Amino acid sequence: MVGNSQGAPFALACAAEGVASALAVISGADEVAAPQFASVLDAGLRGLVERTVRDPVGAEEFFASFTADAMWDMVMAGSPGCDLALYQDPEFAAAYRRALDEAFAQGATGYARDTVLAMGRWPFALDEITVPVDIWYGEQDTSHSPDNGALLASRIPGAHRHVVPEIGGALLWTHAESVLTSLLGKAVTDG
């Protein structure tokens, strides 16, 4: 199983339940509501996390106002230059924009609910995951995990953390072959 970006906590939940035989978390949304991150989050993210924990219904209403264009703008504003080189390539940008349009075609309710679940405390035990887990972050990824997954990896028995130089959150598109080759090797070997 692969969990990319905000899909990471849902993939981790599947791993905790034994649904996956191996897992790759790629540029994964970290458990930013964990107490260990309270002092290291930038003020904007810390405010969203606190709001989400304190008032999940209100936070969900806020996130439900997102659109495909707002998501595009947020990704472009928060990405390092190395990622923007890929995201703004005309062919990639067109495909990415189509994917965002499809994702938001029926509104943002699903995105809003997923965001509240991802930004709150996770209701599963990371230390009970028994399947092989690789955690992948780009060295310049500043938006998915405050520490490029170091705390996340330390909370999962046997997890292996990879930090790839010279890339940010676009890791899934720039290093898919490495990630998937490693994942398939673990699934075959261990599953």
- Residue 6 belongs to domain with CATH number: 3.40.50.1820
Domain count, the chain: 1
Q: Which domain holds residue 191?
A: 1-31+122-191
Q: Residue 126 corresponds to which tokens in the numbers above?
A: 């990371």
Those residues with Cβ within 8 angstroms of residue 178's Cβ, 6 or more apart along the chain or in another chain: none
Reported pTM: 0.92
Answer yes or no: is 138 within a domain.
Answer: yes
Asked whether residue 191 carries a pLDDT value surpassing 70, the answer given is: no
Query: pLDDT digit string (tens) for 104-160?
Result: 999 999 999 999 999 999 999 999 999 999 999 999 998 899 999 999 999 999 999
Give CA torsion, residues 47, 53, 54, 59, to 10 deg: 70
